[in-house]
Structure 1
Amino acid sequence: MPSNTLYSDLSHYYNLMCCNIDYQEQCDFSHRLFQCLTTSATTTPVRSLDLACGTGPHVEHFLSLGYNASGLDINAPMLSLAQERCPTAAFTLQDMCGFVTPEPLSLITCFLYSMHYNYPAENFWQTLQQTYNALEPGGIFIFDMVDRDYIANDSGYTHYLNNSEGDFSFQSRWYDKKTDDKLDLVITITKQSGGIKEQWQDQHAMLALNTEQVVTKLQSIGFEVTVFERDYSRLKLWQKNMGNVILACVKNNSI
């Protein structure tokens, strides 16, 4: 059974791996938060940026909501697919921990736990600062994260898909040794077709953090922070009884 490095060809399988994700629901949720919390939006249409945008599904939905939507990622093949998906949007090849924008933004998003790719912690804090710098006063940054205090180190999540290429299984799971600030994301894709089984595996060093630690840092930068449960179907404040959260961070309007 051949084994390859997953991200050497992630762009080919990314949309299949994420086929169960409701991108529109996540964008609608962010749109509601933007309407409820921001005091920004001095331009029309509203300028937005999706960090770690991948192949651009969130950008596509923000465009449909009337935003002047853009995206950035460090993976050039994914950005090529994103540009094909959204030919009118601007996409840039940048690392989120050092990104710059030509003009201030009203909304910045980062979904699918992608903020955890900012490892080690210095990169995470730098990304928070860069995001603050990129927003206009009153603008909002929305991202999701997993609180390390709730990670179970179990088998994670697996979904199955059959299409013309074969039978696929996609598994992702977190693993936290609890010894430092490193969290492992383990991803496995298995494909069976014509009696041949192939497998792509990869393990990424991710940043392990707890929610209160992140909130404290955001506040020290100058954000006003509200924490919600990671349920994109409703706006429900975090009750500290689950580890999957969404942070809505508004840049102080007086800055």
Structure 2
Amino acid sequence: MSSLYPDEMAEIYDAMYQSFIDYKNEYIFYNTLLQKYHPENILEIGSGTGNLARHFIENHQNYTGLDYSKSMIAISKKRNPNGSFIHGDMRDFNLEQKTDAIIITSRSTSYLISNNDINDTFKSLYNNLNPNGIVIFDFIDANRFIPYLKENDTIIHAAKYKEVNYIRKSNWEVSSQDNFTLEWTAKYYRNEVDDHQIIANDYATVRVFTLNEMQLFLYLNNFEILETIDRKTYAYDTYVIVAQKKS
């Protein structure tokens, strides 16, 4: 699995994404889906710096956050001192007690590069869910995102947080050989784009998926798809899938 964000990126990520994403609306979206199945406990994978977690905790839900970045977990714990957060890898984790529902948020599935990564993740989800447990996750739609990248060499996103303007300039190189993988490079700036004043660089290999691919991975790993939602996020066309663990 490709690393999500380097530890030194945690604070920059936290600042920018609080501007990119309306976490209250994000909570309403996921919680509305979850409450159809009345889970007593919820695990969020890719909990990041705890912005979405805050809403689950404030609403007194039995919530646990899991993330690959120790630096992001540290921010989460500071932001949510009453919350439960654990460090872990979605491909191989073991909860002390199984859970009723797992959500994978913020397109964290993009960092599952190989088919083994994906199958290992779904196996871990299956093993950590109670009978008939629910998994909800999003992924970037390859059929729309790759053509968009072909037409846009550089993608710029701007965000303002605590009176500071942040800018991210991204470039993507599409691989024609490896499972719709992309080499993503990003430069981060404060206040204006000036290549002499870059505050951080980020590099990652990520993967995007077709809907048919993801449907097949779920089928092979003993999940039944209950709902598929076509959802536009701040920068990507995504699908959200709700699936249930088969007995």
TM-score (normalised: structure 1): 0.81
Q: For residues 166 and 34 of structure 2, what CA distance do their matches in structure 1 show?
A: 37
Q: For residues 71 and 27 of structure 1, what CA distance do their matches in structure 2 show?
A: 14
2:112 matches 1:103: no
Q: For residues 89 and 133 of structure 1, what CA distance do their matches in structure 2 show?
A: 23
Residue 157 of structure 1: how far off its partner (Å): 4.8
Q: Give the secondary-structure state (helix, strand or coil) at the position aligned to 1:230.
A: strand
Residue 8 of structure 1: how far off its partner (Å): 4.7
- Rate the CA distance shift 1:34–1:63 in 2: closer, same or farther, 3 A: same
Alpha carbons 1:97, 1:123 under 8 Å: kept: yes
Q: Give the secondary-structure state (helix, strand or coil) at the position aligned to 2:53.
A: helix
Alpha carbons 2:111, 2:207 under 8 Å: kept: yes
Alpha carbons 1:106, 1:139 under 8 Å: kept: yes
Alpha carbons 1:148, 1:176 under 8 Å: kept: no
Task: Give the match for residue 187 of structure 2.
Answer: 188
Task: Give the match for residue 46 of structure 2.
Answer: 52
Residue 69 of structure 1: how far off its partner (Å): 0.7
Aligned-partner residue type, residue 45 of structure 2: L
TM-score (normalised: structure 2): 0.83
Q: For residues 178 and 127 of structure 1, what CA distance do their matches in structure 2 show?
A: 24
Aligned-partner residue type, residue 183 of structure 1: L
Give a deviation string over 1:123-173, Cα, whole Å, max 9, x none.
Answer: 122111111211112221111111212222123351142655x54212446
Residue 197 of structure 1: how far off its partner (Å): 2.2
- Rate the CA distance shift 1:162–1:61 in 2: closer, same or farther, 3 A: closer
Long gaps (5+) in structure 2: none
Q: For residues 162 and 55 of structure 1, what CA distance do their matches in structure 2 show?
A: 15
Long gaps (5+) in structure 1: 1-5, 233-241
2:69 matches 1:70: no
Q: For residues 203 and 101 of structure 1, what CA distance do their matches in structure 2 show?
A: 31
Q: Give the secondary-structure state (helix, strand or coil) at the position aligned to 2:130.
A: strand
- Rate the CA distance shift 1:107–1:156 in 2: closer, same or farther, 3 A: farther
Q: Give the secondary-structure state (helix, strand or coil) at the position aligned to 2:54.
A: helix
Report how many residues are paired.
Answer: 231
Residue 111 of structure 1: how far off its partner (Å): 1.4
- Rate the CA distance shift 1:156–1:246 in 2: closer, same or farther, 3 A: farther
Task: Give the match for residue 178 of structure 1.
Answer: 176
Task: Give the match for residue 238 of structure 1.
Answer: none
177-186 or 18-27: bigger deviation: 177-186
Q: For residues 101 and 213 of structure 2, what CA distance do their matches in structure 1 show?
A: 23
Task: Give the match for residue 229 of structure 2.
Answer: 228
2:87 matches 1:93: yes
